[in-house]
Amino acid sequence: MHVVVGSTNPVKLNATEAAVEALADTVVAVDVDPGVPEQPRSTEQTVQGAKNRARRALAADRADLGVGLEGGVASVAGLDGQFLTMWAAVATGESVSVGAGPRLRLPDEIADAVVAGRELGPLLDEVLGTEGLKRGRGAVGVFTGDRVTREAALRQAVAMALGPVVTEHYR
């Protein structure tokens, strides 16, 4: 099986490779436009970005599966604050399934800056004095003390989106 990931971010590629390890012969990355803001600020935008990436990856390389991953920040009904969440989509040509990774409440100061228009990765690079955080440990690594890596959170999202594709329980 040939799988194409709609991002050249190495963390997203590695997460997908881990999630499809027993299924895929090849996994490659292509750069696609997610069609949503650089920093999605709602669940709807984040899911749409993942779906767009999956469909566009599938179309870009005659793949068996297209995978899209998108991280976003959104509120959760009934809870205070803003939550970082990872969404994945898997496109087969006939359908697109979605799945989410873990959610993590952001510190209020960071959340307020994101709601005001900042992108989370560059904001954290500025605050922490790092560079390219979103292509490495990511916010999830920072705010869990590296107990959960960005790659692990994204891998979970891909695995959840794969459920309808690789099991018969959804047919």
- Among residues 106, 104, 105, 87, the alpha carbon closest in space to that of 96 is found at 87
Residue 62, pLDDT > 90, answer no
Summarised one tens digit per residue, pLDDT across range 118-142 is: 999 999 999 999 998 888 889 999 9
More confident residue, 47 or 22: 47
Residue 82, pLDDT > 90, answer yes
Q: What is the pTM of this model?
A: 0.94
What pLDDT, on a 0 to 100 scale, did the predictor assign at position 91? 97
CA angle, 11 then 16 then 18, to 5°: 95
Confidence of residue 169 (pLDDT cuts 50, 70, 90): very high
Residue 112, pLDDT > 90, answer yes
Q: Report the mean per-residue pLDDT for the chain.
A: 95
Summarised one tens digit per residue, pLDDT across range 28-39 is: 999 999 999 999
What is the rounded average pLDDT of the residues 10-18?
Answer: 96
- Among residues 95, 132, 124, the alpha carbon closest in space to that of 107 is found at 124
Q: Are 70 and 137 in contact (CB under 8 A)?
A: no
What is the rounded average pLDDT of the residues 160-171?
Answer: 92
The structure tokens listed for 114 are 């994101």
What pLDDT, on a 0 to 100 scale, did the predictor assign at position 61? 85
% of the chain beyond a pLDDT of 70:
100
Q: Are 14 and 21 in contact (CB under 8 A)?
A: no
Residue 103, pLDDT > 90, answer yes
What pLDDT, on a 0 to 100 scale, did the predictor assign at position 135? 85
